[in-house]
Chains A and B, each alone.
Chain A
Amino acid sequence: MTDRGESKDSNLVYSGNGSVNGSGSVNGSGKEVVESARLADSVTSIAGVRALAPGLRDLVATATAKVLRRTGDEPVGVDVTRGGDGVKVRIDAHLDHTRAVAEVVDEIFSVVEADIARGAVEVSGRLDIDLRVVSRG
């Protein structure tokens, strides 16, 4: 059993408060939109992840296409936003029954970690991964 807080990179701190809010409006910069799309690509390829947000089944596409599809109020499966003290990654996922929830959650975290490590998302300061499993079925 791994203790919480152990991580390879000292800059990565999971503060995930599990908060849920209904606001879908995100006015991200172009960079954050592209980063969101990259992470979305990675996360949807994980076994056990059925989709990323209600209605957006075709999120697995090119980064450019995803950028074009984004509007201010559209709920996006992955949202990268930057605040004063760091980066927040919000993920809303629909899972299926093929794997235990915790197993998929762990893999989502490690996939996001790996993307960050290879520079897909620029992180300075705190990293907050807010993952919500919207449904399972």
Chain B
Amino acid sequence: MDVNEHVGSGAEPDQTSADSQRESDAQLRGVIDEYMSTFQPEPEDTAGVRERILQLVRDDLYRGPSTSLQTQQGHPFSISTASVRSIVRNAVDAVDGIRARSVDVEPAGDPEGSAATVSLTVAMRAGISFASTAEAIRRSVSAEVLAELGIPAARIDINAEDVYVD
């Protein structure tokens, strides 16, 4: 079989060329399929790569941005922003039908850092009434931030930006 279509950058094949291409593809199919099957990742391959990736990511996270806060006793400290967001995210996810998306926590209060302002966006399950759920989110975040961080949330802004279907 002879493939003799004109090959140029962006050349559109005519019908004869398209037919001959399909024929040549069919002939090659056996070899291609065999080639594809020889390169299957083993579970241990992916496990090894996965572990290395997550370790590198963890190391990168340790060097990430921090949020400056202060305990009620007046002791200042900084905490990885990722850790603070994680506390808020867990509180939001705990509310049925809600998934936390973007979380922002800023130091607030006087002295600054003795309280926190929380802004978050969420995705909500289709059919959920946002007005009543927002109250549940507010309660959950407020309680969790106080219990896990030990610092009160002075303000919680919630923005629903998407709907999901389970």
Contact = CB atoms under 8 A, between A and B. Distances in A.
Interface of A: 1-6, 14, 16-20, 22, 54, 97, 100-103, 105-106, 109, 129-137
Contacts of B65: 20
Nearest to B107: A18
Contact of A19 (B75, B78, B82): B78
Contacts, number: 95
Instruction: Enumerate the 8 nearest inter-chain pairs by beta-carbon distance, A residue then B residue, closest first.
Output: A102-B150, A4-B74, A18-B68, A100-B150, A16-B76, A18-B78, A133-B79, A102-B71
15 contacts: A4-B73, A14-B74, A14-B75, A16-B76, A18-B76, A18-B77, A54-B58, A54-B59, A100-B150, A101-B149, A102-B69, A105-B77, A105-B150, A106-B73, A133-B79
A102 B66 contact: no
Interface centre among A1, A54, A135 (most CB of B within 10 A): A135
Contacts of B58: 54
Interface in B38-70: 58-59, 61-63, 65-66, 68-70
A14 B75 CA distance: 8
A30 B150 CA distance: 37
Interface centre among A105, A109, A131 (most CB of B within 10 A): A105
Contact of A2 (B68, B72, B146, B147): B72
Nearest to B68: A18
A54 B78 contact: no
A105 B73 CA distance: 10
A109 B71 CA distance: 11
Given A1-B73, A101-B151, A132-B66, 19 more contacts: A2-B74, A4-B70, A14-B74, A14-B75, A16-B76, A17-B68, A22-B63, A100-B148, A100-B150, A101-B79, A101-B149, A102-B73, A103-B71, A105-B75, A106-B71, A106-B73, A106-B75, A131-B77, A132-B77
